[in-house]
Structure 1
């Protein structure tokens, strides 16, 4: 977690995601007048939903199973759960939740393709460590949502891939 967090802070993934969300929000709101007193940020919905749907154990395990074994069952179950969740989240967070589908597709696709290419490196221990990191990231995201904390969960995302690096080093 520490190594991944340091990497994430150095490249500031959180700032990049928020910037992307702000640009999308600016494009979608161009020429619109805000008549409501409370405006839900498209950027906030995009970032929160992207993180929520990407950092879970099902996202990682499902994508790994797809890449390693060609088994998509976990991804199918996750997509059903995410569909229901995204509908509910979109009621409060707006269209940014829908836009997070692109980020989820890219994230899970990269993991699945990477798993396919790194079949020999991904041991059970490495996968277990990746799941543990994913669970901690979900906890941090929950703390942000419930307690209104300001943990930059996006900056911790590289921690998901640090076990792969240690797995490769361990094989040498």
Structure 2
């Protein structure tokens, strides 16, 4: 397999993690983006905004066991579908979280790979907060929060191994 490398010189290299792309597709009029604006009202820092969106997703979106058993090979998340149905697999959780944060100009990556917390291929996010990238896993934490247990929003990045990032 042939690969080429392309080097871009950007004033801010994190700007690429603010865009709507194929697997994190959003527009300013989408319901989840409107919800993000509502959640951000009165919040001063990016950290407060991230926590508000994190709390919303972990409390309201459940893991879709049926979809997880039969994920189509061409599956792409839809933030509207996840938001409306209130369920998805990790890819959908991560896409929704990324879109909501990107819409508020908070650089966010959708990351795929392995985690020591699970024995299956997984998706999570990295969010640029206070000058550094932090690991946040809304899928893992939704199960914890919904079972009335406490979850730490920021994870130990050493527990995750990246294969892809968007």
Q: Tell me the TM-score normalized by structure 1.
A: 0.29
- More helix per residue: 1 or 2? 1
Q: Tell me the TM-score normalized by structure 2.
A: 0.30
More contact order relative to length (CA 8 Å, sep ≥ 6): 1
Q: Highest CA radius of gyration, 1 or 2?
A: 1
